[in-house]
Structure 1
Amino acid sequence: MAPITATTMRKVVAFILAVSVDLLLFYASGFAVFHSVFRHFTHLWLSAALRWLALIGVSLLTLGVPKALLIRFITAHSLLPAVFETGTNALYREENQCGQLGDVRCWLMFSGASLATALFWEITIPDTDEEVAGIEKKQKARVLFMRVLRLYRPDYALLFGGLVFLSLAVICEMFIPFYTGRVIDILGSNYQENDFLSALLFMGLYSLGSSVSAGSRGGLLTCAIHSFTCRIKVMLFGALTKQEIGFFETTKAGEITSRLSKDTTLMGRTVCLNVNVLLRTFIKTMGMISLMLSLSWKLTFLVLMETPITGLLQNIYDTHYQKLTLAMQDTMASSNEVANEVVSGIRVVRSFNAEKHETRRYDDRLMDTHNLKTQRSTVRVIYLLARRLTGLAMQVLVLYYGRLFIQRGQMTTGNLVSFILYQSDLGISIRTLTYIFGDMLNSVGAAGKVFEYLDRKALVSTDGKLQPDHLSGHINFRNLNFTYPANPTKTVLQDFSLELKPGQMMALVGPSGEGKSTCVSLLERFYEPQQGEILLDGKPLKSYDHQFLHKKISVVNQDPVLFSGTIKQNIEYGLKSCSLDEIKDAAMKANAHDFIMQLEKGYDTEVGEGGGHLSKSERQRIAIARALVRRPRVLILDEITSSLDTESEKKIQQSLSSIPNQTLLVIAHRLKTIENADQIVVVSGGKVKERGTHRELMDMKGSYYKLREELFTEGNSPHH
């Protein structure tokens, strides 16, 4: 058993001493009242002040400077008897036993209530570092919410119209319970037909006005939501397309699509609808409290005592609910990622008989979401149960005191009925206010993730302005060091230097994964090298205008990507104006015109999703035509001949060689593709190992010679 420390002993002594002193003062105060030493409420507040000073003094002497929570408890514990006696007298107009002569039962009741009050204060207005961070988080959520509202600026007219109809609907709705009570009083007293018909007429008019206004409000707000959602989706999509390639390699596709489809919709609907409910409920609450005060101010103050309890429950609920909601959004993004991977790679899944494995993997992700949903639902059930019990207890108290006030002639039966109707709505409204305020902050969690992408600056800048009238296509790689963002520990290029002269053909060869395609990616400015630079006509590549650069440098990859649409649309992809003659000319150079014309619709033939209606060779040739139609000064062919037959390859080579002063960079495994190159460069380990013409390198009998023996054998040639 652990020994009792001096600190523990000091706390025990402080507790015993504080209880003894407080009980003594509590009984002394009750004894003084019972013997009529004081006849007014002055004694209650004097004794409260005396108890507070005594308890604070004991704490200072035994524990030192007390903590904030202890000070709150002492304050509530000292003042509560005086507050209770004063409030009871205001309602009953007679003294209460606990106020006259206190006993242990009353003391324990006040202690429990004081502890609950201190804890409520601690939760809603915390002092610990962790909870101060929670306040900062809520403050950040408020900033995000205001930013969302500013994005609604184009729809302010619709929102204003919705606010007007919202106010009218609430005002009309508020007077219905009032006239219900009037009808009951008219029927219960001397019946006057005119008064009765007048009350019914006003009830009908207010009901009609409430219905029409509510419908108009809903229509206007729905239009505003749809407009906002469409606008924010376009903004986010535009921001995503401007990000560097490394962003898409390190960010899961499921997460991106989830933000684009789900979070933008949630952001627009939840925030706007919550503002609608918040304003409607606030206006209605203020109006109902005013009408309730006119019916009975005593019952109104009694009902308002429910508010702090509701606020405490809501605060606890919001904290847990928000945490589970954010976790659930992440698991949903994860399950979307699995589904996207399987759908896009279904051929691989089928080839390796991995259908059951992928189904289990998807099921695991869904179960994670299901478990979080279950936890969230459990939290909500407990919260709703506590909220209903609180509301039921308050209804019982209102009925009890309402009966007393009717007996004393302080209110009529109709007034009580109206008050109960208002009280039922008021409880719902107050709970809605506390819930909506928390939910509104929760909903901007989705907005925060959207803004995170909207605010993100691409690591590869596209702010260059240079657009020279003449570009020769002279390229210099100077001392490049590069690692991919997705794998920063592996260096792909080391002190890499290379020169491509205008009008020449250069071939990059070497084993796979040694940096050849990386050179192409850097030349396209998909990435930024960690060290070194790439010069185009002596100017840094990043200083050129983004659109200009990608028109002058065109790339055809081994696996070209085509988009849904026609062949014509794919060839002119990205160009603002391109004539059909230019498209046909490029297609002829790419040896694609003949097979296109054999199709039923020619250049208007749909290629299908990803070009699925065409063979790989046909997609390859359309991709070459797409590059050539731009009339680039630098053309990069990355392993494109693997899908082409010998005749197509020969025709394409002839077409490319006929283009004057074009810088051509080729990455290929076929000997026939590269042996006529002006310069062949062997890349190994991220460095330039050898360079020269085909004959020079063969004579050296170095790395290129060995590669020719291993990779460029006749067995790899289409001629066999």
Structure 2
Amino acid sequence: MGPIVDESDLPGYTMRSSLLLGARSLRSLAKPQQQDQNVLFSLYNSAPRHSRIEPPVCAHIVVSRPLQTSRRELSTSAIPPSSARPLSQLQFQRPQVLQQLRFLSSTPAKSETPTPVIKSERKQPKQEDNDDDEEESFQRSEKANQASQVNLSARLSKEGSANSGGAGFGEVWRLIKIARPEAKILGIAFVFLLISSSITMSIPFSIGKILDIATQGGQKTEDLQSDEGSPMLFGFSIGTFYLALGSVLAVGAAANYGRIIILRIVGERIVARLRSKLFRQTFVQNAEFFDANRVGDLISRLSSDTIIVGKSITQNLSDGLRAFVSGAAGFSLMAWVSVKLTGVLALMFPPVAVAAFLYGRAIRNLSRRIQKNLGTLTKIAEERLGNVRTSQAFAGEILEVHRYNTQVRKIFDLGKKESLISATFFSSTGFMGNMTILALLYIGGGMVSHGTITIGELTSFLMYTAYAGSSLFGLSSFYSELMKGVGAASRLFELQDRQPTISPTAGKPVTSARGTIRFENVSFAYPTRPAVSIFKNLDFEIPQGSNVAVVGPSGGGKSTIASLLLRFYGPTEGKILIAGEDVSTLNVKQLRRRIGVVSQEPVLFSGTIAENIAYGRPHATRSEILRAARRANCSFIGDFPDGLDTPVGARGTQLSGGQKQRIAIARALVKEPDILILDEATSALDAESETLVNQALTTLLRGSNTTISIAHRLSTIKRSDTIICLGSDGRVAEMGSYKELSSKKDGAFSKLMEWQMSGGDSTNERSHAAQARNNPTPTETEEIEYMLHSGEGEHDDVREGDEEIQGSKIQETVTEAVEQKKK
């Protein structure tokens, strides 16, 4: 049954719903345009009470009572919110809309009776204060906009370093130089190429002479007879000549075999060397690089791009040289047979050369686009298959298959376009070649009838023409494949040329990391978000051999301390000292060998338990691995039939969470580190697993190493000698023992513990849920604030072309409300 509409309230309802519909539309716009939402807050809060209604949750709302209607009594139509563009991109004037909204909120409608404020009385602010608040909200929003900007300067281009221009000689030469280490063996292959090509090009000449002997075509063949009148060819009898020709062809076949096998082996060697070099170059990059680049794209560069490059500079280069040698020899022999016919054939060269150039350029661009989309496809497959359980848990199989198929379709369309271009090029050049042959037959036939050339010579010329035409097409294919190789190589060169900002091998040697750890006025922001400061003049000291717990609010930078100690990143200001040495001057690889890390989500690699424990120390003996496993309380290993040789599966899927965590502890222990970092090592475990892990940690903390625990659990915090409590401003809020900090009832640590013990949650949903329980009938201001805040992150993915439609709808709605109020 439809909702009841109070007709007497329709005029006022129309005006109010139009105002709030405008607010709803502005709220659905992209998140960076927070200044518009802040203006709406001030407009709504300053509007008279009678001009406000409960916030709508979709596009159409009808109420039976104007103000007292609760959220449950709202009648809504299930219209999904439309996608939107940022407000600055919409096709209407934002200042005009905001001015109209201010007009709507300035005076009451004549047809309505003011209604008293429910729950809390809000004083009407002065206009000057309103303007100040509005200006302040705009300033805050501008800072938020700057903070939301992401710096992706470390991201690799999807189309390579040369995607903006054509392939120059330098880029092609750099591609060929990849094969420089194989120059000697490639030289042998080139000698085989010359032998096989020379033998091949001798066949038309021999066939022409044999035809002349068979037809006895006039005076031209008299020199082919011996004094006794028996036919001779090159001083040999016909039988001897055939036997010699067969032997020569066998030598050509052997040379061709040697050329092919050498090039295939060299090609595989080049691909293997490229992959090894690029994988090593990728592995030494800093954390900033992996923050900005997807793993799938890197895998695509290491796999498919290297194959294309290897083929381009071995097999394709050999085919190109073969075509060049055969073509040059063919044209020389054609000119020797008949200059006139060679001139006729030369007329087809200019159009074919132009077509080959255009074809190669189009193929190069398509190759780059195909490789880019292949990288995206690999990224999708790697990401989705790596999280297949999550997709299955949310019944997202159809969605993920559709996403994958969409990318496959893009690659298919590009491949189809490449096929169309290739078919057009080769069919048109083939047609031109056939027409040229027809012209040669017409002109050559006349020359034979006039005795200018013999039938054998015409036959040899036509065969050379076929060889030369094949060579010309071979050069066209060589050029197109070379351009494909250039397109793939540009992606490899971009990765190869990138140098890490923190060199893993430079710096002073590190034999020990024992000593006092000091953060001295450290300021830091992640490179991908430089406007968001994590630390501001952070200053604290950790004595050697102490057990320190780092606590603080979520996002306060606790794990960032570990990243800075491991030199995944460098501080923007200040210094980090270990035993008085600035870590920025130390050898990174040697420093990391002296630091052990146990993370919240332990990462295990495919292999056995022993291999994963020894990962922290590859040359560890069997007894050292067993001792580390016992110290980490890994007694479950004895329950497996293969013991330490039990496979853990991909990412440790054959083990439970607690088992993986204890193996990770054993991996850190086998290193015998000077500094041990425990990054919330028990936060994701059940009670039984946590007890076993805590027993292992208790044993661990008895050592002489310095331990830094990043913790939420009270049990972990109590075990610590010193607690460093970080504040939300990026500085140390409090520092001391558990007894000292817990005795300060108004201190930051006590408040944090009180919040955690009460089961608090930092998410907005929990906060508003708790507020709703305490206040079942929220004020209208709370309603509109909740509506705007909850929709802050909606509609990040927008559809093209919706901005003009939505902008016009918002302006029409607000304009109608203004006209209604004027009436």
Q: Answer 1 or 2: higher relative contact order, Cα 8 Å, separation at least 6.
A: 2
The question of 1:167 aligning with 2:194 is answered yes
User: CA–CA distance in 2 between the matches of 1:185 and 1:334?
Assistant: 62
Partner of 1:433: 475
Partner of 2:698: 654
User: CA–CA distance in 1 between the matches of 2:258 and 2:506?
Assistant: 50
User: CA–CA distance in 2 between the matches of 1:697 and 1:604?
Assistant: 47
Which of 557, 561, 568 is the equivalent residue of 1:519? 561
Displacement of 1:646 in angstroms is 4.9
Partner of 2:650: 609
Q: 1:660-688: per-residue Cα shift (whole Å, max 9, x none)?
A: 2x211001111111123121122233332
The question of 1:306 aligning with 2:348 is answered yes
Change (3 A) 1:208 1:700: same
Change (3 A) 1:166 1:695: same
User: CA–CA distance in 2 between the matches of 1:218 and 1:460?
Assistant: 44
Displacement of 1:173 in angstroms is 0.5
Q: 1:86-107: per-residue Cα shift (whole Å, max 9, x none)?
A: xxxxxxxxxxxxxxxxxxxxxx
User: CA–CA distance in 1 between the matches of 2:499 and 2:491?
Assistant: 15
The question of 1:256 aligning with 2:256 is answered no
Larger deviation, residues 201-210 vs 371-380: 201-210
**Is the 8 Å Cα contact of residues 552 and 632 (structure 1) preserved in structure 2?**
yes
Change (3 A) 1:168 1:254: same
Q: TM-score of the superposition, structure 1-length normalised?
A: 0.77
Note the residue ranges of structure 2 that are not aligned, 5 or more in a row. 1-161, 218-224, 762-823
Larger deviation, residues 309-318 vs 473-482: 473-482
Larger deviation, residues 332-341 vs 199-208: 199-208
Displacement of 1:712 in angstroms is 4.1
The code of the aligned residue for 2:673 comes to P
Note the residue ranges of structure 1 that are not aligned, 5 or more in a row. 1-131
How many residues end up aligned between the 2 structures? 580
**Is the 8 Å Cα contact of residues 670 and 712 (structure 1) preserved in structure 2?**
no
Which of 505, 518, 543 is the equivalent residue of 1:463? 505
Displacement of 1:162 in angstroms is 1.3
**Higher helix share goes to which structure?**
1
The question of 1:147 aligning with 2:177 is answered yes
Partner of 2:661: 620
Displacement of 1:430 in angstroms is 2.0
SS in structure 2 of the partner of residue 163 of structure 1: helix
The question of 1:185 aligning with 2:227 is answered no
Displacement of 1:542 in angstroms is 2.4
The code of the aligned residue for 2:734 comes to E
SS in structure 2 of the partner of residue 461 of structure 1: coil
User: CA–CA distance in 2 between the matches of 1:522 and 1:608?
Assistant: 31
User: CA–CA distance in 1 between the matches of 2:616 and 2:479?
Assistant: 46
Partner of 2:677: 636
Larger deviation, residues 456-465 vs 276-285: 456-465
User: CA–CA distance in 2 between the matches of 1:712 and 1:538?
Assistant: 39
**Is the 8 Å Cα contact of residues 462 and 542 (structure 1) preserved in structure 2?**
no
Displacement of 1:610 in angstroms is 1.1
Partner of 2:79: none
Partner of 1:214: 256
The code of the aligned residue for 1:475 comes to I
User: CA–CA distance in 1 between the matches of 2:537 and 2:453?
Assistant: 92
The question of 1:694 aligning with 2:738 is answered yes
User: CA–CA distance in 1 between the matches of 2:466 and 2:506?
Assistant: 64
The code of the aligned residue for 1:663 comes to T
Larger deviation, residues 634-643 vs 465-474: 465-474
Q: 1:480-509: per-residue Cα shift (whole Å, max 9, x none)?
A: 222223333432223222221111111111
Partner of 1:664: 707
Which of 694, 701, 717 is the equivalent residue of 1:674? 717
Q: 1:277-305: per-residue Cα shift (whole Å, max 9, x none)?
A: 12211221222122212211221122122
SS in structure 2 of the partner of residue 495 of structure 1: strand
Larger deviation, residues 437-446 vs 566-575: 437-446
SS in structure 2 of the partner of residue 666 of structure 1: strand
**Is the 8 Å Cα contact of residues 145 and 441 (structure 1) preserved in structure 2?**
no
SS in structure 1 of the partner of residue 527 of structure 2: coil
User: CA–CA distance in 2 between the matches of 1:556 and 1:380?
Assistant: 55
User: CA–CA distance in 1 between the matches of 2:731 and 2:406?
Assistant: 44
The code of the aligned residue for 2:178 comes to V
Q: 1:118-163: per-residue Cα shift (whole Å, max 9, x none)?
A: xxxxxxxxxxxxxx9998732232232243232xx1x333312211
SS in structure 2 of the partner of residue 168 of structure 1: helix
Partner of 2:203: 176
SS in structure 2 of the partner of residue 559 of structure 1: coil
Displacement of 1:311 in angstroms is 0.5
Displacement of 1:219 in angstroms is 0.8
The percentage of counterpart residues that share the same residue type is 32
SS in structure 1 of the partner of residue 708 of structure 2: strand
Change (3 A) 1:653 1:414: closer
Larger deviation, residues 231-240 vs 484-493: 484-493
User: CA–CA distance in 2 between the matches of 1:364 and 1:488?
Assistant: 34
The code of the aligned residue for 1:673 comes to T
Partner of 1:12: none
User: CA–CA distance in 2 between the matches of 1:521 and 1:470?
Assistant: 19
Aligned CA-pair RMSD:
2.3
**Is the 8 Å Cα contact of residues 550 and 724 (structure 2) preserved in structure 1?**
yes
The question of 1:550 aligning with 2:592 is answered yes
User: CA–CA distance in 2 between the matches of 1:646 and 1:148?
Assistant: 54
Partner of 2:539: 497
Q: TM-score of the superposition, structure 2-length normalised?
A: 0.68
User: CA–CA distance in 1 between the matches of 2:648 and 2:200?
Assistant: 59
Change (3 A) 1:473 1:583: farther
**Is the 8 Å Cα contact of residues 144 and 447 (structure 1) preserved in structure 2?**
no
Partner of 1:319: 361
User: CA–CA distance in 2 between the matches of 1:198 and 1:418?
Assistant: 21
Partner of 1:529: 571
Which of 452, 461, 472 is the equivalent residue of 2:514? 472
Q: 1:201-228: per-residue Cα shift (whole Å, max 9, x none)?
A: 3442333222221112111111111111
User: CA–CA distance in 1 between the matches of 2:241 and 2:213?
Assistant: 9
Change (3 A) 1:705 1:134: closer
Q: 1:204-254: per-residue Cα shift (whole Å, max 9, x none)?
A: 233322222111211111111111111211111111111112211211111
Partner of 1:288: 330
User: CA–CA distance in 2 between the matches of 1:345 and 1:133?
Assistant: 33
Change (3 A) 1:478 1:135: closer
Q: 1:35-94: per-residue Cα shift (whole Å, max 9, x none)?
A: xxxxxxxxxxxxxxxxxxxxxxxxxxxxxxxxxxxxxxxxxxxxxxxxxxxxxxxxxxxx
The question of 1:710 aligning with 2:762 is answered no
The code of the aligned residue for 1:368 comes to K
User: CA–CA distance in 2 between the matches of 1:146 and 1:353?
Assistant: 49
Displacement of 1:255 in angstroms is 0.8
User: CA–CA distance in 2 between the matches of 1:351 and 1:486?
Assistant: 32
Partner of 2:804: none
SS in structure 2 of the partner of residue 214 of structure 1: helix
**Is the 8 Å Cα contact of residues 676 and 707 (structure 2) preserved in structure 1?**
yes
SS in structure 2 of the partner of residue 454 of structure 1: helix
Q: 1:493-547: per-residue Cα shift (whole Å, max 9, x none)?
A: 2322222111111111122222111111111111222222211111111222233
SS in structure 1 of the partner of residue 549 of structure 2: strand
Change (3 A) 1:647 1:583: same
The code of the aligned residue for 2:211 comes to I
SS in structure 1 of the partner of residue 707 of structure 2: strand
**Is the 8 Å Cα contact of residues 183 and 200 (structure 1) preserved in structure 2?**
no
Displacement of 1:442 in angstroms is 3.4
**Is the 8 Å Cα contact of residues 506 and 678 (structure 1) preserved in structure 2?**
yes
Q: 1:688-717: per-residue Cα shift (whole Å, max 9, x none)?
A: 22222112211222222122122246999x
User: CA–CA distance in 2 between the matches of 1:450 and 1:653?
Assistant: 45
Q: 1:572-618: per-residue Cα shift (whole Å, max 9, x none)?
A: 114242122222222222111x2222321222222121111111111
